[in-house]
Amino acid sequence: MRTLSASSGEFALSRAQVGWGDPAAALPWLERAARRGDPSADVLVLLARVHLKLAARTDASVRAAHLDDARAGLARARERAPGSGAAALAWCYLGDVARAEHVLQMLANGGLYKDHTAWAVEFQRRLDAGLTLAAIADEMRRKPVDGTDE
């Protein structure tokens, strides 16, 4: 049985705050976690989601900074895990369809992350049918496709 560490507990709490509560409440822990020497792609994607949600709720004077922070976080996430579901979502959100489809194809073929195959096939089908940025953001809110806690 796996024990829950303080950092995985904080990550779970932050994910809940971002998905269903006050995303601003998750910001301090996620920013600290992202500044650590080796943050996970999941932490970086969740932090980007916080900034996207805050950008949607603020006026134009603050919105640009949140959007810039979100883009930077997604860029770091795809660098950390270019072959993961989180990196594929980051490419989609950033509008780089070719790279997103490359990662999805790699995942669908049972490449590096074999447990992503079904998710990648389904997500590619949804992309082909046409996904909005809102639908991609909804997918980012779901439990990470690789099943990690952090």
Q: What is the pLDDT of residue 113?
A: 59
Q: What is the pLDDT of residue 22?
A: 92
Q: What is the pLDDT of residue 27?
A: 94
Q: Give the CA dihedral 79, 17, 93, 35, nearest 10 degrees.
A: -20
Rg (CA), the chain: 15
94 and 122 together in one domain: yes
**Where among 59, 80, 101 does a domain terminate?**
80
34 and 56 together in one domain: yes
Q: What is the pLDDT of residue 114?
A: 62
pTM over 0.75: no
- Tokens 């650590």, residue located: 36
Q: What is the pLDDT of residue 53?
A: 84
10-residue averages of pLDDT along the chain (150 residues): 59 86 93 89 87 85 86 82 72 70 73 69 84 77 50
Tally the domains of the chain. Answer: 2
Which domain covers residue 35, as residue numbers? Answer: 7-80
Tokens of 83: 């072959």
The answer to whether 74 and 93 have CB atoms below 8 angstroms apart is yes
